[in-house]
Amino acid sequence: MGPLAPHVVFPERNQSIPVRDSNFIFGSVGNGQATLTINGATVPVAPNGTFLGYLPVPPPTAPRYELVVRHGADSAKLTVPVRVPPARPELTTSGRLVIDSSSVSPRGGSMTLRENEPVRVSVRAPLNAVAWASANGVNYPLVNVSANTFATDVPAGQMRTGATVYVARGADTVHLALMKPQIRDANVAQYVSLGDAAAQTDTDATIIGRSTPAGTYKWMFVPGTLVQETGRSGDNVRVRLDSQLEAWVDETSVKQLSAGYPSPRRTVGAMALVPSADWVDVVMPVSSPPPYLIEQDLDHITLTLYGTQATPDIIKFLQNDSLVRSVNWVPDASDRIRLSMELSRPPYGYLVLFDQRGFVLRLRRPPRVNPARPLEGLTITVDPGHPPGGAIGPTGLTEAAGVLPVSMKLKEILEQRGAKVVLTRTTMDPVDLHLRSVIARRANSHALISIHLNAFGDGVNPFPNVGTSTLYFHPQTEPLARLVQAGMMREMGLRDLGIHYQNIAIGRTMWMPSLICEGAFLMVPEQENAVTTPEFQERFARGVADGVEAYFRLFATR
């Protein structure tokens, strides 16, 4: 093998490491027979000269990795400086009073809250200190809640002109200013439009709603949905869906309406069930799109309309539909209705539209499948994950490059078995993440399969955690996820990490089952190396194809 040439792929020079304990480091040394130490610890070198180590994070006093590579009489050194979190101050119970000033909250950022909303004020301080917040001339004692953490809740309105946290021990006192929240007058309702009403008929232009700022996504709103703005936290806006529920959306999706804009009055009138060959439309006449939530279980679909009333004096079943057995509506609250639909089989996919008829829930019928050749005539979208972004391996192989041949192979196998395959990319040019599920929906695909290679978050020990997993978002995808995972396990023989519910972006298309295959971990030398071999690419693709085929066989009519 070649000359000693130590190279670290992760972390990059001066990269900031957000954890304090241990983290991984990987790269190559140029020779598979060489030995490697990093900060004095021995790290194994793979036959192709790459390495992966999991080592203590360098201390703030010496924030660097020092690599020493040896082979025979030859040696080479490399130093990679990094940025690490500052040392935690020691919160001693004697001597000069020291507190953890980086722990004082809230300090940075911005918030808009109602006058009476509680703001959590907290600080880490020695156990024998006393702490309090002073706001609007009132002192609020902080209570020791765990270890060295002291906290209390202060009404936002009290902090509007500024507040200070104090920590004292004997004659020693430390104080720090807290963030000033903006206050939203609860007596003046400010309505906003989520997205642009002009995009109302574009089913791909949904607005994501979350249950906490920047948290897991739960709602997908139609552009032009009118809601009340009730608060802000940084770039996240809190909106009221109805009298009992609030959600968070990105600031960029909020369009301000003029002050005094009236509340949306939404009343659903006579509903109708309109069947077509490939779907059934549940049509709900209403003047503007309501915020909504769809929940699914085995043979049931529930649609909740927030900030909406109903007088559906009749529900018109145009014919006795084979998919929708019954529709029942319940006023859950004075401004919330819940539509419960009993189906004859598990929901396959759905789409929410807002058109001249009103709010429409389009329920997709499952495909008709030939048991002898289950994929015959079906359309499958195969998505080679990334770029932009993605993982990287010790030789510098990117995830985007690693998954492309696997996806090409998968296309070939699915086509041999009778499917029509759409690829979201065939080159290394970046494709927007959102566009990938749009491509699948526009092709009227029966499934969206996204091929990825996994990576770890900072601080995770890779060695006990490597293997194969499948990620999905919609309950309708769960049977497909199980079968694809089983197919990959049979073919690839790595550790079974199981299937996981995760708020993956490609899960935002509900028209078909969609999932992500995380075949292997790119940072692991042996797995990165395997990914470059046609044999492993073939096994990865065949495992996925077998799972997809087994899934569609479930729909076969004999």
CB nearer Zn ion, residue 116 or residue 426:
426
Chain residues binding Zn ion by CB under 5 A are 385, 390, 452
Least CB distance from residue 28 to Zn ion, whole Å?
Answer: 22
Least CB distance from residue 392 to Zn ion, whole Å?
Answer: 11
What six digits make up the tokens of 379? 């359309």
DSSP 3-state assignment of 129?
coil
Contacts of 379 (CB under 8 A, 6+ apart): 419, 420, 421, 422, 443, 444, 445, 446
Is residue 353 within 8 Å of 202, Cβ to Cβ? no
Least CB distance from residue 356 to Zn ion, whole Å?
Answer: 40
Least CB distance from residue 43 to Zn ion, whole Å?
Answer: 25
Instruction: For Cα atoms 35, 36, 37, give the angle at the middle one, nearest 5 degrees.
Output: 135
Least CB distance from residue 409 to Zn ion, whole Å?
Answer: 18
Which residue's Cβ has the minimum distance to Zn ion? 452
Least CB distance from residue 324 to Zn ion, whole Å?
Answer: 37
CB nearer Zn ion, residue 43 or residue 391:
391
Sign of CA dihedral 480, 483, 487, 493: positive
CB nearer Zn ion, residue 247 or residue 520:
520
CB nearer Zn ion, residue 166 or residue 501:
501
Contacts of 233 (CB under 8 A, 6+ apart): 109, 110, 111, 112, 213, 248
What is the CB neighbour count within 10 angstroms for residue 16?
12
CB nearer Zn ion, residue 374 or residue 385:
385
Alpha-carbon gap, residue 39 to 434, rounded angstroms: 42
CB nearer Zn ion, residue 37 or residue 532:
532
Contacts of 445 (CB under 8 A, 6+ apart): 379, 380, 381, 422, 511, 512
CB nearer Zn ion, residue 224 or residue 385:
385
Least CB distance from residue 390 to Zn ion, whole Å?
Answer: 5
Instruction: Give the largest CA-CA distance in the chain.
Output: 90
What six digits make up the tokens of 325? 């057995």
Is residue 244 within 8 Å of 338, Cβ to Cβ? no
CB nearer Zn ion, residue 142 or residue 391:
391
Helices 534-553, 478-492: inter-axial angle, 10-degree rounding: 150
Instruction: For Cα atoms 287, 288, 294, give the angle at the middle one, nearest 5 degrees.
Output: 115
Least CB distance from residue 399 to Zn ion, whole Å?
Answer: 5
